[in-house]
Amino acid sequence: MEVHRRLCRTYECPIGYFHDLDPVSELISSLLSHRTRNADSGRAFKALRARFPDWSAMIEAETGEVEALIHGVRWPELKAPRLQEVLRALRDRQDGALTLDFLAAMEVEAARRWLEALPGVGPKTSAAVLSFSVLRMPALPVNSHHHRVAQRLALIGPKVDVGPSHPILRAQLPEDWSAQALYDNHEILMLHGQKICHFRRPACDRCPLTDLCPSAFTL
């Protein structure tokens, strides 16, 4: 909680949501962003949206065309067929409907289980769909920056991977926190990883958490 308080002061919470996508579009966006810079995944998403105003059209498209449209992301040759597979699975589970709006009526953990039954959807993606989309549900995503900062602060163990870190980090925060508060927590830890707690040569001399961090000045 002290980490959250200090970083919220540093990065000025509450933090505005960065976009307002429907949950299916957020699912596509999140899958594109895996191990990819935001600028590159954003361009790929816009290219897909311009070519396929209706996501159902992408299911029937040539996979090579989808791959060409998302060429700027990492592993486009894997992501293109996976995107089509996910949309196909969603359509089949919903009797032909391509929608995730119904998740709004579910409890967060149930909604995450439903999403994670789709091919290639893990904890990060399920949380992102619920948190970042217009659903605005209280789920905590963890990306690589967030994860790195949490490890250096010993909020999670040194061998805990990104996926398993989700329930551990969520359990450390109040159960009744709002979607905005959880979104802020993710964003401030991510921003701290991008701006201060770099992968190489973290700027510990500028960090407001040095007295709380077992890793300070040791990396």
- The span from the CA of 153 to the CA of 20, in Å, is 32
- The span from the CA of 202 to the CA of 212, in Å, is 15
Token code pair at residue 83:
């995107």
Token pair 């909604």: residue: 111
- Domain positions in the chain are 2-15+141-157+167-212, 23-132
pLDDT tens column, 56-72: 999 999 999 999 999 99
The DSSP letter of residue 204 is G
Q: Are 211 and 217 in contact (CB under 8 A)?
A: no
- The span from the CA of 92 to the CA of 87, in Å, is 9
pLDDT tens column, 130-185: 999 999 999 999 999 999 999 999 999 999 999 999 999 999 999 999 999 999 99
Amino acid present at 21: L
Alpha helix locations (H) across 1-152? 2-11, 23-32, 38-51, 55-60, 63-69, 76-93, 108-116, 123-132, 144-152
Amino acid present at 128: A
- The span from the CA of 52 to the CA of 61, in Å, is 9
- The span from the CA of 27 to the CA of 112, in Å, is 12
- The span from the CA of 175 to the CA of 41, in Å, is 32
Domain covering 23-132 assigned CATH 1.10.3720.10 in the classification: no
Of 156, 168, 124, 139, the closest CA to residue 36 belongs to 124
The rounded percent of the chain whose pLDDT value lies above 70 is 100
Burial class (CB in 10 A: 0-12, 13-18, 19+), 116: middle
CATH of domain 2-15+141-157+167-212: 1.10.1670.10
As a whole number, mean pLDDT of residues 26-33 equals 96
